[in-house]
Copies of this chain bind each other. A is one copy, B any other.
Amino acid sequence: MKKSVFSVLAAMAICFGANAQEIKEDFKPSELNQPGQEYPMVNSQGYARFRINAPGAAQVRVSLGLGGQGGTVLKHLGDGIWEGTTDGPMDEGFHYYHVFIDGGMFNDPGTNNYYGSTRWESGIEIPAHDRAFYEERNVPHGNVQQVLFWSKSTNQLRKAFVYTPAGYGDKKNQNVKYPVLYLQHGWGENEYAWHNQGHANLIMDNLIAEGKIKPFIIVMTYGMTNEVSRQEPNRRQIVAEQFEKVLVDELVPYVDANFRTIADKKHRAMAGLSMGGMETHAITLARPEVFGSYGLLSGGTYTVEELAGRKVDYIFLSTGEKESPAQINAAVDALKAAGYNAEAHVSPGTAHEFLTWRRALYTMAQSLFKK
């Protein structure tokens, strides 16, 4: 980029006032890039830099960027290459985005794709200072198993992913049984979210390798039951009653029959992020005999009133610091005062995004199935 430091500082000053800073030219390819792709890049301050090849385009814009200007407008450098850098550092962690080429919405050919907003989107990762807990290490790794199960209530073959911890397949462990966490994605996402962008499997592998938790199974399935309207893909409704049937009456028995689970309430938890939290709230209250532990990740709270008389082993409520920490902390205080084993978690410096939920899973996993 040919911008002078002066013009960068001037732009920063307009957008951020006192936060203006010089952009460090230590950009590296985002870890989520497709093989061999240099761009997008990220620097040590959290700025993202994009390059798109579109020789005949009139306008190229990326949906990410601060300042409320609708993202980052790329400039033509020549030879068909468009480039732009976010007008400030991004939050640590994972961000969905897309590119507008002459008004049409496309993915950045540089990155891998992640399902969010009811479509496969581009993704970029701003390395978090505490990323070690979800990084790939040379430790024993569990498997993520794609399962296809027939759902009578929706008359369709449905998909789930089942994380089985390292050693699950070892001959010596063939009599070992495991607790199970049913873990739901958010609105517009699907059953790939928790292991693709959430790194749920790596979080578990690392926790188990460090001896911080005892191994358990995680089941991740698609949390929508209704047919997508081809006319109105964004107006899909959550039909929690239908999903309750799929999850509790079809998937739970399938998992208990095909995996070595401890098939009782005490060793079965449900949690979800955002819309998945709302589903968790509805389903755990509707079917108190099924799940012993509940987790709402940026997905609301439980009140003492709605839990009245119920035996719950553990309740986890979490949020990003930029979301609603006061509400979460107050709810957990009230639950504790009423005698519940409840825990609050606030992810520092993050909003309604996946780093918030990676940290939440890391924290929640250490308290699940302890009782």
Contacts and interface: CB of A to CB of B under 8 A. Distances in A.
A143 interface: yes
Nearest to A101: B101
A138 B150 contact: yes
Interface stretch (A103-111, A274-282, A284-292): A103-111
B103 A106 contact: no
Nearest to A98: B109
A70 interface: no
A332 to B, nearest CB: 35
A27 interface: no
A35 B34 CA distance: 23
A229 to B, nearest CB: 7
A34 B115 CA distance: 10
Given A118-B36, A145-B143, A228-B35, A102 B56 contact: yes
Interface residues of A, number: 58
Q: Which of A35, A38, A233, A258 has most chain B Cβ within 10 Å? A: A35
A19 interface: no
Contacts of A228: 35-36
B36 A103 contact: no
A55 B106 contact: no
Contacts of A54: 101-104
A199 B157 CA distance: 15
Contacts of A112: 120
A110 to B, nearest CB: 9
A232 to B, nearest CB: 8
Contact of A35 (B118, B136, B138, B157): B118
Given A38-B230, A109-B107, A146 B149 contact: no
Interface string A240-260: 000000000000000001111
A113 B104 contact: no
Given A120-B34, A136-B148, A141-B148, A55 B104 contact: yes
A157 B138 contact: yes
Contacts of A145: 143-146, 164
Contact of A57 (B104, B144, B157, B205): B104
A337 to B, nearest CB: 43
Interface in A85-108: 99, 101-107
A229 B260 CA distance: 43
Interface string A130-167: 00000011100101111111100000010000101000
A29 interface: yes
Contacts of A53: 103-105
Contacts of A120: 34, 112-113
Nearest to A168: B258
Interface string A117-131: 011100000000000
A102 B105 contact: no
Given A55-B104, A144-B146, 18 more contacts: A34-B119, A36-B229, A36-B233, A52-B104, A54-B101, A54-B102, A56-B103, A57-B102, A57-B103, A80-B104, A113-B113, A138-B150, A141-B148, A141-B157, A143-B147, A146-B201, A170-B258, A174-B174
Nearest 5 A-B pairs (CB), nearest first? A54-B104, A36-B233, A56-B102, A55-B103, A141-B148
